[in-house]
Amino acid sequence: MNKNKTVTTVIIANGRFPSHPVPLSCIREAEYIICCDGAANDFIARGGVPDAIVGDCDSISEENKIRFADILHPNPDQETNDLTKSVQFCVENGRQEIIIVGGTGKREDHTLGNISLLADYAELAEVIMVTNWGIFTPIHSITEFKSYKGEQVSIFSIDPKKLTTHNLKYPVEGRILTNWWQGSLNESLGDSFSIDPEGRVIVFQAYKQ
């Protein structure tokens, strides 16, 4: 039995450091925290102590490089970004339940890239992204989400394939979403909703305002 199976691992990515209580509590309650290289200086300056630092290790300060030498895991691969390296590091170490924070809020192309990478990570582990505005969950088969009446829900298709929704205000029935916005700004009708996709889909649930 893998003793890490139920340990909550949080990856702090290179985007804007979280300010919302939900991602902040994920960090506070994490049993294991991985900092992407570019996020490490900031997290440490805020008093955080990472369990691992993963990435190119070219943006971490000399001081932190010495102080955290034991937990540095440099990975110079030019083909993948620090977030992907961190997810791979988790998987290699049997960490199968991963929460990503700090994945958005800076360069929008990084935001789009990091969100869409969730669809790839979903093949390796159980991964969600928790932002200052809500939670992204990648799915590739019928999935039920806990919800509440009025929850704001957006659905983004990565693959151009049909999907069907249940218990959302604007139902989608066996239709292909041909632009990203087409599945956005939907709303839950009750305690749960479900999505039945033929391809890879990323679901966003916004926090209550």
Q: What is the CA radius of gyration of the chain?
A: 18
Q: What is the DSSP letter of 159?
A: S
State yes or no: residue 185 binds a copy of itself (CB under 8 A).
Answer: yes
State yes or no: residue 58 binds a copy of itself (CB under 8 A).
Answer: no
User: Per CB under 8 A, which of residues 110..169 are in contact with a copy of itself?
Assistant: 110-117, 119-120, 131, 133-134, 136, 152, 154, 156, 158-160
Pick the closer one to a copy of itself by CB: 62 or 108: 108
Angle in degrees, CA 21, 5, 102, rounded to 5: 30
DSSP secondary structure, 77-142, as one string? -TTS-HHHHHHHHHHHTT--EEEEES-SSS-HHHHHHHHHHHHHHTTTSEEEEE-SSEEEEEESS-
State yes or no: residue 180 binds a copy of itself (CB under 8 A).
Answer: yes
State yes or no: residue 13 binds a copy of itself (CB under 8 A).
Answer: no
State yes or no: residue 48 binds a copy of itself (CB under 8 A).
Answer: no
In this structure, what are the phi and psi dihedrals at residue 67, rounded to the nearest 5 degrees?
-60, -35
Note the residues at the interface with a copy of itself (CB under 8 A).
81, 104-117, 119-120, 131, 133-134, 136, 152, 154, 156, 158-160, 178-181, 184-185, 200, 204, 206
